[in-house]
Structure 1
Amino acid sequence: MTPADRVRIKTDAGAFAHGEKHWNAHLSETQARTIRASTDTVAALAARHGVSLQTVASIRASRRWEHLGT
């Protein structure tokens, strides 16, 4: 078993907090879904939700909140 396999198994079992459950989360699941579905500019969404441009861009590209799917 590789280290990546062990991490995936622990993640699937809920050993790592992600999304709203993460201690440093600034957005709710609803907000992340809204950002993904929105056609507003990255700058407008970042200002509206109080996060960085990079955060919004990463959510839209499914690099953050990837557990939500597309």
Structure 2
Amino acid sequence: MGRRYIDCRAFPSETNCSVAISADSDAELLEAAVQHAVSVHKHTDSPELRAQLQTLFQDGTPAVAPPKMATA
């Protein structure tokens, strides 16, 4: 498996978060993403949050320019 990432810039937030996190394993990426979601975005660590975050993982590394925002 290659590098994977999750990019907050793709999702609207009150803080206009500009963090993108990447790692070489899904397990490491998930732990970093959960810590970020809990400490910055005030989510509660739960199995549901972890499952949702995993669906947002992308292959590769985040782009320098912000991605287009996701719509609900």
The TM-score normalised by the length of structure 2 is 0.31
Which has the bigger relative contact order, CA under 8 A and spacing at least 6?
2
Structure with a larger share of its residues in helix:
1
Structure with a larger share of its residues in strand:
2
